[in-house]
Amino acid sequence: MRQLVSGTDIQAIVQARVDDDPRLGRASRAIIVPMPKPTATESVTGCNWTIHTLGQLPPEHQAILDDIVAIAQHELNIGGPGVRP
């Protein structure tokens, strides 16, 4: 079962994972994670949010970011206003 948190919490969690990943420490520029966007309906996997783009990065870095987001999507869903972890 996914933990319900705010969009701001999801952004902070994903950003912390990006910042902690040693493979991304070699990125040529800072990677700033955008605010997640709620989806109109839950996806087939049950996640109710997405992060549309993280910028123009080399393919190997984009793949790492995609993996970080996918893992977070399996763990977290956006809850209603005022939801705290």
pLDDT digits (tens, 9 = 90+) for 1-40: 889 999 999 999 999 999 999 998 776 678 889 999 998 7
Domain count, the chain: 1
Residue 24 lies in a domain: yes
Question: Which residues span the domain enclosing 40?
Answer: 3-78
Residue 47 lies in a domain: yes
- What is the Cα–Cα distance from 34 to 36, expressed in whole angstroms? 6
**pLDDT of 44:** 74
Residue 84 lies in a domain: no
Residue 27 lies in a domain: yes
How do strand 37-38 and strand 49-50 relate by DSSP bridges?
antiparallel
The structure's pTM equals 0.85
Residue 83 lies in a domain: no
Residue 56 lies in a domain: yes
The alpha carbon of 48 is separated from its chain's Cα centroid by a whole number of angstroms, namely 12
Residue 85 lies in a domain: no
By percentage, how much of the chain surpasses pLDDT 90? 51
Residue 25 neighbours by CB under 8 Å, 6+ apart: none
